[in-house]
Amino acid sequence: MPRAIVDTSYSTSPLDGEPMEQTEAERLASVLKALADANRLRLISLIQSSPAGEACVCELTEPLGLSQPTISHHLRILTDAGLLERDKRGVWAYFRLVPEALTIIAGSITPPKQRHRRAAPAPRSR
């Protein structure tokens, strides 16, 4: 099974404090690349808004107007990134969101609240 690339060890936002290290930036960039595609965003949204919170490839081809292999390709990228989980039941695989993963990514790009509003000039000493 491919390694999920969402780092669930993030406890705080990488934007909140010290400059981000190269390794951390590369890991976050990989997950954001998996998300940064209109078809994959729509797949996540369709799965998320489906009544059971899960969907199989067979239910996703028609709303997106894409072929089954193309849908499967996008689902694999999202699953490899740790954003979806896959459950094989009978002939079909069902996909559901890993809500923690999206919450972690959202937290990673949330800036600390208004920390850097343009400050008034410091008063001069004497």
CB–CB of 84/98 below 8 Å?
Answer: yes
DSSP 109: T
DSSP 3: P
Question: What element of type H or E holds 24?
Answer: helix 22-35
CB 40, min distance to a copy of itself, A = 8
CB 117, min distance to a copy of itself, A = 8
Backbone conformation region of residue 90, classed left if phi is above 0, alpha if psi is from -120 to 50, else beta: left
Task: Considering the complex, state which of residue 42 and residue 72 has its C-beta at the smaller distance from a copy of itself.
Answer: 42
Q: Given the DSSP bridges, would you call strands 84-89 and 92-97 parallel, antiparallel or unpaired?
A: antiparallel
Find where tokens 């996909």 sit: 95
Task: Considering the complex, state which of residue 1 and residue 119 has its C-beta at the smaller distance from a copy of itself.
Answer: 119
Binding site for a copy of itself (CB under 8 A): 14-15, 17-20, 22, 25-26, 28-29, 32-33, 35-42, 44-46, 48-49, 52-54, 63, 96-97, 99, 102-103, 105-107, 109-119
Task: Considering the complex, state which of residue 22 and residue 125 has its C-beta at the smaller distance from a copy of itself.
Answer: 22
CB 61, min distance to a copy of itself, A = 14
